[in-house]
Amino acid sequence: MIPHIVYDADVLRLLDQRRIPDAVEYVELRDWQSVAQAIAAMVVRGAPAIGISGAYGVALAARAAANGPHFLDEVSRAAHGLASARPTAVNLSWAVTRLLREALDLVDAEQPPHAIAAALERSARAIHEDDIESCKRIGDAGAALIPAGATVLTHCNTGGLATGGYGTALGVIRSAHRDGKIARVLVGETRPQLQGARLTVWELLGDGIPHTLITDSMAASFMRRGAVSAVVVGADRIARNGDVANKIGTYGLAVLASAHRVPFIVAAPLSSFDPARETGDSIPIEQRDPAEVTHVAGVRVAPAEAVAANPAFDVTPASLVTAIATDRGLLRPPLDRAISGVLDEAPVSSAT
């Protein structure tokens, strides 16, 4: 895949995912405020990818503030501003909080601002590189659950574009395809923003993985006639009990999968788990501009006076999840116990 997040000293270049598949264009961002705007506008999207971009945003802020009198205040302002650009994916606040804590520790250790800025840049790069390795481990763990000759249904885009590279749910599909197990991927188009139709199909075409694009409303009918072997989705935030916040429409697929006895597999790195949330009830759900619902690709399809709702994510209860494929292996029910096990073994620091 072509590079989609490129950091080069004083500029962050992001592949503009709003333009895929029609154009391959990059936006150049030179300050943290522009990075926060790009995350909110979904130039870059997908939980791990916005975490990585947010970390580079903090690195940009630290570099800019290194010569001024208010270094730590500026870095802290950037971290908080970036974390609030999109509220549901915990990876964003996890990544920027990690860099902010490092800055605080290095200030305590009386390191000069330039040295701290350089350290934060290294940490942002490490988050980026680690995520690619995590995705490969997730992919291999999840592929073990995919039967030979499978038709796998996926939702939204969880691929290289949504991560540092390789993908989470799409990483599972990539690994299963490498193992010769994938007959076909059913790609839900994912209204309102069509990440499935635009981005997942683009990535599958790039890899030569057989796929069929369906509208979200076709999933039930495909499952009823036995045409789906497994549903594999990503996650924006997973609570301690295994409740999963993910792209709107995921919950509906989980209910359908349960009704048709189809395995429902979630794929996510440990950075998508939120140790501070006992259940999914308290996960903040981003509400986006209703114009994304009244319009398709910028063209209005509803009457101009239409009132529309646009919650970007929903929460799937843990009881509907068959397994979670993580970078620490497979987690199976009871998920609360399995999650406590991995979090206690390798604590994930709480986000702000």
For 311, 314, 325, the CA distances from 171, given in Å and listed in that order, are 26, 22, 10
Site for ligand MRU in 40-59 (CB under 6 A): 45-48
**Nearer to ligand MRU among residue 113 and residue 192 (C-beta):** 192
Q: Cβ atoms within 10 A of the Cβ of 125, count?
A: 15
> Residue 15 has which token pair?
């592949």
Instruction: Give dist(CA 216, CA 237) in Å, integer.
Output: 22
Per-residue x/- track, 182-211, ligand MRU (CB under 6 A): -------------x----------------
C-alpha distances (whole Å) from 106 to each of 12, 89, 116 are 24, 27, 6
Pick the piece of the chain touching ligand MRU (CB under 6 A) from 56-64, 126-134, 234-242, 252-260. 234-242
In the complex with ligand MRU, which residue's Cβ is closer, 47 or 325?
47
Candidates 95-103, 107-115, 208-216, 229-237; binding stretch for ligand MRU (CB under 6 A) = 229-237
Residue 179 appears among annotated catalytic residues: no
For residues 121 and 189, which CB has a smaller minimum distance to ligand MRU in the complex? 189
Burial class (CB in 10 A: 0-12, 13-18, 19+), 80: middle
Q: Annotated catalytic residue: which of 16, 131, 236, 243?
A: 236
> E-strand spans in the chain?
5-8, 11-15, 26-29, 150-154, 182-188, 211-214, 230-233, 237-238, 244-247, 264-267, 295-296, 299-300, 313-316, 323-326, 329-331
How many whole angstroms separate alpha carbon 44 and alpha carbon 229? 31
The correct pick among 168, 200, 229, 316 for binding ligand MRU (CB under 6 A) is 168
Among 246, 294, 316, 326, binds ligand MRU (CB under 6 A): 246
Q: Which is nearer to ligand MRU, 106 or 339 (CB)?
A: 339
Contacting residue, 52, 116, 119, 312, with ligand MRU by CB under 6 A: 312
- Residues found near ligand MRU in the complex (CB under 6 A): 45-48, 89, 156, 158, 162-163, 168, 195, 234-236, 246-247, 312
